[in-house]
Structures are given as C-alpha cells and as structure tokens.
A and B are shown apart, each in its own frame.
Chain A
Amino acid sequence: SAVISQKPSRDICQRGTSLTIQCQVDSQVTMMFWYRQQPGQSLTLIATANQGSEATYESGFVIDKFPISRPNLTFSTLTVSNMSPEDSSIYLCSVRGGPGSSYGYTFGSGTRLTVV
C-alpha cells in the first residue's frame, strides 16, 4: 500500500492565523481525501482533493475556510484558515490507489492541531 508523509505532525497556533498541512505520497494515487477527527469522535470527511481542479467539499465545509490544492497525483495540501479554538482537531490525509494497488484506503499519521 502507499506510504504517506504528512506534515506537520502537530502544531499550536494562534487564533486568526492559518496553517497549511502537506500530504506527500510515495506513488501516484487516484483519490486523495482530507478528514477531520475531533477529540473522542470519528472521522468526518472534509473534501475530496481533485488533481488539477477544485476540491469537492462535503456539507458544512467551505473552500474559504479549508482551501485544498492537489497539483499532481502524489501531493496535496489542506489549509485551515482564520483558525478558532473550534478548529482544534486531528487532520488526516487519506489516499486510494489505482488499479493493481491495495483496494483499501491508507491514512497518513495525522496532524494534531491546537488553536489557542
């Protein structure tokens, strides 16, 4: 399965600032997703990162707050903009490979964000 490098692993940020999270995959993948996991909760999909076009956002998530880039098949970024304490969460990148790869979905190690 694909190996994902997600950075940073954790950060403490001031409210009102922005943080960009990077997700680098060691092979080309068809699908990349960004999830949020709030303390004690399950995973909620933020958006599907589309290569070369705008991301597809889930209900309750908007591009102005969570801009996403995916310039190629191995890399994506998620920015958490104008942060508030409610954005404190773990953010996870997930990928699904193409034909011949594992059918399952692999997750990055996550970014633990604390907004103060």
Chain B
Amino acid sequence: QKEVEQNSGPLSVPEGAIASLNCTYSDRGSQSFFWYRQYSGKSPELIMFIYSNGDKEDGRFTAQLNKASQYVSLLIRDSQPSDSATYLCAVNMGDTGTASKLTFGTGTRLQVTL
C-alpha cells in the first residue's frame, strides 16, 4: 500500500468551475499535510499546508483535512487555465529531524478547459 495516494488524472474541469483534488494517506501518525503545484519542467511550489482537522482557506484555494478518514483535499474555486498543472500532496510525521521529511503522492494532473 502506498503511503500517500492520489488519482493521477487527468482531472478536466471547465474554466470557472471548482476543481476538487483528493489525497489519502496510510499512516495515522501523519501530522502535517501540504499541497504543491508543479508546472511541467518546473519545480514544485507550495500552495497550502494544513495540520488541523477542518478547512483552511487561502484565496481561491481551500484545503480540507479529515484525520479520522485519513483524507485531505484541495478545492480550487473559479478554476483558470493557469491552474492547469500537476498537484502534489505531501505529508510529514512531525516537525523535527527526519520526521519532518515529506512523503509525496504521485500527483494529480489538472486540466482547466476554456
């Protein structure tokens, strides 16, 4: 069983719609959860992180965490063609030492169509 799982996609949504990206993780000890965006040929850039159950909003992005279900999601409202990228979910086991290393999912490719 993979530690962090994502649907590889592509997930296709029309411009202006809400894109919903999902991620599940296997280790209940996971503490913090990160969403990265990666454009083709570029390095990952951090969109959001979350470590408490519930929702966290930042502009058009909302991260949702449900530790009981071991599930984290990213919602992108008013999707734009510039949001077309691969979205990577990552988790860590703590704040210090090697526990702080990130484990990544395989990523979901998002396509926002005109």
Does B34 contact A104, Cβ atoms closer than 8 Å? yes
Does A104 contact B98, Cβ atoms closer than 8 Å? no
Does A110 contact B43, Cβ atoms closer than 8 Å? yes
Report how far A102 CA is from B34 CA in the complex, Å.
13
Does B104 contact A43, Cβ atoms closer than 8 Å? yes
At the interface, is chain A mostly helix, strand, loop or mixed? Answer: strand
Cβ of B102 under 8 Å from chain A: yes
Q: How large is the interface on B (under 10, 10 to 19, 20 to 34, 35 or more residues)?
A: 20 to 34
Residue of B nearest to A90 (CB): B43
- Of B13-21, B44-52, B63-71, B76-84, the one with at least 4 CB within 8 A of chain A: B44-52
Given contacts A33-B101, A48-B101, A56-B98, A41 and B46 within 8 Å (CB-CB): no
Contacts of B88 in A (CB 8 A): 42-43
Contacts of A107 in B (CB 8 A): 43-45
Report how far A45 CA is from B34 CA in the complex, Å.
15
Contact bitstring A91-116, B, C-beta under 8 A = 1, else 0:
01010100000111111111000000
Contacts of A48 in B (CB 8 A): 97-98, 101
Partner of B43 from A41, A56, A92, A102 at Cβ < 8 Å:
A92
Cβ of A31 under 8 Å from chain B: yes
Report how far A31 CA is from B42 CA in the complex, Å.
22
What 9 pairs across the A-B complex have the smallest Cβ distances? A104-B46, A107-B43, A43-B104, A42-B106, A42-B104, A110-B43, A42-B107, A107-B44, A48-B98
- Extra A-B contacts (6), CB below 8 Å, given A92-B44, A94-B102: A43-B104, A44-B104, A45-B102, A104-B34, A104-B49, A110-B43
User: Using a CB–CB distance below 8 Å, which chain B residues touch chain A?
Assistant: 32, 34, 42-46, 49, 88, 90, 97-98, 100-107
A–B complex contacts, Cβ < 8 Å, 20 sampled: A33-B101, A33-B102, A41-B106, A42-B105, A43-B90, A45-B101, A45-B103, A48-B101, A92-B43, A92-B44, A94-B102, A103-B32, A104-B46, A105-B46, A105-B90, A105-B102, A107-B43, A107-B45, A109-B43, A110-B43
